[in-house]
Amino acid sequence: MTTDLPMPRVGAGQAAAPKPMRLVLNWGRRYSLWVFNFGLACCAIEFIAASMARHDFIRLGVIPFAPGPRQADLMVVSGTVTDKMAPAVRRLYDQMPEPKYVISFGACSNSGGPYWDSYCVTKGVDQLIPVDVYVPGCPPRPEALLQGILVLQQQIAQEKLQTKSLRGRLGPYAGRRASAAEVSRPLVAPPEQTT
Amino acid sequence: MPERELTVGVGAGGLATADMVLNIGPQHPATHGVLRLRITLDGERIKAAEPIVGYMHRGAEKLFEVRDYRQILVLANRHDWLSAFSSEIGAALIVERMLGMDVPERATWVRTLLAELNRVLNHLMFLGSYPLELGAITPIFYAFREREELQAVMEEVAGGRMHYMFGRIGGLRDDLPMGWTGRVREAIDAVRRRLPDLENMLVGNEILQARTRGVGILDPKTIAAYGVSGPIARASGVDVDLRRDQPYLAYDELFAPGGPGRVVTREAGDCLARLEVLLEQVHVSLELAQACLERIESLGPGPVNVKLPKVLKVPEGADYLATENPLGFNGYYLVSRGDKTPWRLKLRSASFNNVQVLSTLLPGTLLADMVAILGSMFFVVGDVDK
């Protein structure tokens, strides 16, 4: 099956939206971040701790009940990305609708962390997908994730969301059409440079 | 479990079914991590199951060889992220044994205390996540409340919430903070007081019992064949606990007759029995921790580490030491050629064996029970893949 599945867009009206309108749109978007937890290792436990009663990130509008990547706005990569796991990370990122954001949570997904010289660990998830906010720590405290979410929300508030600016921010990642065949492919090819 | 099948149909009899291969994972909420299972189904009965591991392989064993003996504790901490302190103590113990180093008594008792608190933290995580996989959302909130309580005292002493890195070769990093033992006692009392809430929600819950009783029965023969250990083995009546059978740290005293230590076993071998073992081990561990606290207070102040040489070299030789980690045997096989790094440090982790048994345990069961069985194996993917 090779049906083309166009990626959902922010809509044509968005590009022409006046500033007050944009403010409202950004305000709405920053407080309803449906999060897709890419829990890989130790950091996933701290992610769960952040969603529990004591830290409770739902009060910031981060909703951890996304049924899957296709209905998520935010992906939190928490843990070590290995070379074996890398294609799956990329594939699930491709399945998320735009606009989408990524928080890299913990030293391993930032840079490889304590496994920086391992033969099978990807040295940072930003080699695969664009990252908006990096949260340092090994593992970071739940409070650090809360801070990371606040930083991301500030970024969203200042965003001028147009297909053109998205392309500028995400470079070759944006505006690409993902096909049904692409999300079931075995290996990921590097993105084409479109500048 | 006797195989029961009920076929209802109009006309030509039963439904014709063909084998279907179902992939669970690697990113699946029920595997709490990145374990992948390839399951062959006939209708909804599992015909074959193959755990595919390696998605979390971080090459820890190879990295041990380029870290000096002080640094390997960092990696030893991380392969099983729910039993961080127990794993790092195992690595420290094997190096100390090969060096012929004596650890101060106070350090040994503090290590035992922290290892038991770590065991409680580990078990609480599974006591929360296992019901979540079965569809009960509430218990995890209770489990995490207790976890936060205990993590606070662990953090006060070590500075970390998960990876403590408080053990050192020859003892501990620092002495205990002032008044810490009192706060640990309060935390233990609080957890013990509130534990019945969690307990009633789990083993007192009719739905949970219905989902787990008689499901996924593991017999002692399979356990011996696969080298399954820890609470899973003990739930099938295999009475093995290295804390009693091969004592390390201060366990020979704690598990002596009349001591607070006892080995929790069950005979049934089903998912419910595994959960019950975990629950009761929390009680035992809290009792052990209390006994350690009393001992530390009566010992009074003293040294908690020994001064190490600037370059730490382990004499040539090989040695193996296994500890009873929360999830089972955690063994380190250290081969030294007299360098400041190990020549080889083989890691025997509990979850690796405990997950392999799924390939014989799952066939014959129903797909709907798969998540219940998988969750009851209490594994950590980092411990599987190292």
pLDDT at B262: 86
CA torsion angle A21 A25 A28 A29 (round to 10) = -160
By CB atoms closer than 10 A (0-12, 13-18, 19+), residue B54 is middle
Contact B163 A139 (CB under 8 A): yes
Tell whether B298 lies on the interface with A, counting CB pairs under 8 A. Answer: no
What pLDDT band is residue A165 in, cutting at 50, 70 and 90? Answer: low
Instruction: Report whether pLDDT(A98) > 80.
Output: no
- Does residue B349 contact residue B81 with C-beta atoms inside 8 Å? no
With an 8 Å Cβ cutoff, is B366 touching chain A? no
Task: Using a CB–CB cutoff of 8 Å, tell me whether B36 touches chain A.
Answer: no
Task: Among A38, A40, A42, select the one facing B162 at the smallest CB separation.
Answer: A42
The pTM assigned to this predicted structure is 0.83
Among B23, B28, B31, B34, the strongest candidate for a mutation testing the A interface, having the largest count of A CBs within 10 A, is B34
B227 Cα distance to chain centroid? 15
Distance (Å, whole) CA A106 – CA B93: 29
Q: Is the peptide bond before A139 cis (omega within 30 degrees of 0)?
A: yes
Contacts of B382 in chain A (CB under 8 A): 41-42
Q: How much is the pLDDT for A176?
A: 53
Closest CB to A119 among B26, B62, B162: B62
Whether cis (ω within 30° of 0) applies to the bond prior to A99 is yes
**Cβ contact B128:B116 at 8 Å:** no
For chain B, the three-class secondary structure string (H helix, E strand, C coil) is CCCCCCCCCCCCCCCCCCEEEEEECCCCHHHCCCCEEEEEEECCEEEEEEEECCCCCCCHHHHHCCCCCCCHHHHHHHCCCCCHHHHHHHHHHHHHHHHCCCCCHHHHHHHHHHHHHHHHHHHHHHHHHHHHHHCCCHHHHHHHHHHHHHHHHHHHHHCCCCCCCCEECCEECCCCCCCHHHHHHHHHHHHHHHHHHHHHHHCCCHHHHHHHCCCCCCCHHHHHHHCCCCHHHHCCCCCCCHHHHCCCCCHHHHCCCCCCCCCCCCCCCCHHHHHHHHHHHHHHHHHHHHHHHHHHHHHCCCCCCCCCCCCCCCCCEEEEEEEEECCEEEEEEEEECCCCCCCEEEEECHHHHHHHCHHHHCCCCEHHHHHHHHHCCCCCHHHHHC
- On whether any CB of chain B is under 8 Å from the CB of A184, the answer is no
Q: Is it the case that residue A171 has pLDDT exceeding 80?
A: no
pLDDT at B114: 92
Residue-level pLDDT at A154? 87
Residue recorded with tokens 């959960």: B275
Q: Tell me whether A45 touches chain B (CB under 8 Å).
A: yes
Residue B165 contacts A, CB cutoff 8 Å: no
Q: A85 vs B161: CB contact, 8 Å cut-off?
A: no
* CA–CA dist A39, B123 (Å, integer): 19
Q: What's the pLDDT at B121?
A: 92
**A117 touches B: beta carbon within 8 Å:** yes
Residue A189's pLDDT is 65
Is A118 close to B163, i.e. CB distance below 8 A?
no
| Contact state of A82 with B55 under an 8 Å Cβ cutoff | yes
Q: Dihedral (C-alpha) A152, A157, A159, A160: value to the nearest 10 degrees?
A: 160
Q: Is B137 on the interface with A (CB under 8 A)?
A: no
Task: Compute CA distances B102 → A94, A147, B97, B166, B249, whole Å.
Answer: 56, 45, 8, 18, 12
Q: Does B62 touch chain A (CB under 8 A)?
A: yes
> In sequence order, what are the beta bridge partners of B320?
B333
- Kindly report the CA angle at B187 between B185 and B192, in degrees rounded to 5? 95
* Strand, coil or helix: A20: helix
Contact call for B145 and A54, based on CB within 8 A = yes
Which chain A residues are within 8 Å of B57, Cβ to Cβ? 82, 84, 120
Of A22, A60, A34, give the one whose Cα is nearest residue A142. Answer: A60
For chain A, helix, strand, coil in percent to 5 are 45, 15, 45
- Of A154 and B2, more confident: A154
- Of B55, B75, B144, which has the smallest distance from its Cβ to A52's Cβ? B144
Q: How crowded is the C-beta side of A28, counted as CA atoms within 13 Å?
A: 5
Taking residues A139-154, report their average pLDDT: 90
Q: Per residue of chain B (386 residues), give pLDDT as tens.
A: 556 655 555 555 455 566 777 777 776 665 567 788 888 888 788 888 888 888 888 888 889 988 888 888 888 888 888 888 999 999 999 999 988 888 898 899 999 999 999 999 999 999 988 888 888 888 888 998 889 989 999 988 888 888 888 888 888 888 888 889 899 999 999 999 999 988 888 888 888 888 888 888 888 999 999 989 989 999 998 888 888 888 888 888 888 887 788 888 888 888 999 999 999 999 999 999 999 998 888 988 888 888 888 888 888 889 999 999 999 899 999 998 888 889 999 999 888 888 889 889 888 888 888 888 888 888 888 888 88
Task: Determine the Cα angle at A126 with ends A164 and A180, to 5°.
Answer: 65
Query: Do B277 and B264 form a contact (C-beta atoms < 8 A)?
Result: yes
What pLDDT shows up at residue B119? 92
Nearest-CB residue to B63 (from A40, A88, A118): A118
Give the minimum alpha-carbon distance from A78 to chain B in angstroms, rounded to a whole number.
11
| The predicted structure's pLDDT at residue A99 | 79
Rounded to a whole number, what is the distance in Å from the CA of A59 to chain B's nearest CA? 16
Polymer length of chain B: 386
Q: Is B317 exposed, middle or buried (0-12, 13-18, 19+ CB in 10 A)?
A: exposed
Mean residue pLDDT of chain A comes to 78
For chain A positions 3-32, those within 8 Å of chain B (CB to CB) are: none
pLDDT band at A1 (very low <50, low <70, confident <90, very high): very low
